[in-house]
Amino acid sequence: ETGVTQTPRHLVMGMTNKKSLKCEQHLGHNAMYWYKQSAKKPLELMFVYNFKEQTENNSVPSRFSPECPNSSHLFLHLHTLQPEDSALYLCASSQEASSGPYGYTFGSGTRLTVV
Amino acid sequence: AQTVTQSQPEMSVQEAETVTLSCTYDTSESDYYLFWYKQPPSRQMILVIRQEAYKQQNATENRFSVNFQKAAKSFSLKISDSQLGDAAMYFCAYRRRTGNQFYFGTGTSLTVIP
């Protein structure tokens, strides 16, 4: 059982739909991240939350809206997506952003297909 | 800007043999961290090994070791006694000493041949 749990595992949505991705960790980590993984491209950082505060938004379109109600939960709200948004969305957590040789603990991702 | 380059999109190795995956990076920083992650078909990225740039000694974790050449900005991963379970995508990643962002390479797909 991974320390970071993402749901749903797969999601197919139309361009006019609204859906949400959920990420949960019980590792006591204070930083959480959303990454986008597309084929043959490096992972793209989307958002960073450190102690529930958003500390980074990597020029992500507004059709992606993150929410971090507490240090254990992270959501990514999706609306009016485009087909090019189809990708694997990975959530990760770490003890703290900005310090230490901390690696991430990743979830298994949500495979999103926009039709 | 920091970039990480993995020049081998695909590699294969015979079971029980040794394979080396290449990674180079570009940075003007003197202190930073380097990582190798493994992503099996289950999709969960798993930390394999990490290296702190100020440490000259190469990191080792069981069958996994790195060859860290700071001047050349090279960080290769050696897998010894390869096993079928080692088959996965391997990503090299860089992180500044302070800062949130990891910079990942495009990955190397490793096949282990029985």
What would the two tokens of residue B105 be?
Answer: 């390479």
Q: Of A58, A103, A108, which is closest to B47 when you measure between CB atoms?
A: A103
Q: Which residue of B has its CA nearest to A89?
A: B43
Higher model confidence: residue A99 or residue B111?
A: B111
A57 touches chain B (CB under 8 A): no
Where is average pLDDT lowest: A79-83, B25-29, B37-41, B94-98?
Answer: B94-98
Across A38-61, average pLDDT: 87
Q: Distances in Å between the alpha carbon of A14 and those of A64, B10, B38, B86, B100?
A: 15, 34, 32, 37, 33
Cβ pair A101:B101 closer than 8 A: no
Residue B1's pLDDT band (cuts 50, 70, 90): low
pLDDT, mean over chain A: 90
Across B77-101, average pLDDT: 92
Residue A36's pLDDT band (cuts 50, 70, 90): very high
Q: Is a pLDDT exceeding 80 seen at residue A100?
A: no
Contact A88, A76 (CB under 8 A): no
Query: Secondary structure of chain A: what % helix, strand, coil (to 5)?
Result: 5, 55, 40
Burial zone of A53 (CB within 10 Å; 0-12 exposed, 13-18 middle, 19+ buried): exposed
Which residues on chain B are in Cβ contact (under 8 Å) with A1? none
Distance (Å) from the C-alpha of residue B60 to the closest C-alpha of chain A? 16
Where is average pLDDT lowest: A63-67, A105-109, B42-46?
Answer: B42-46
The pLDDT assigned to A97 comes to: 60
Cβ pair A50:B100 closer than 8 A: yes
The pLDDT assigned to A83 comes to: 93
Which residues on chain A are in Cβ contact (under 8 Å) with B29? none
Higher model confidence: residue A74 or residue A50?
A: A74
pLDDT, mean over chain B: 93
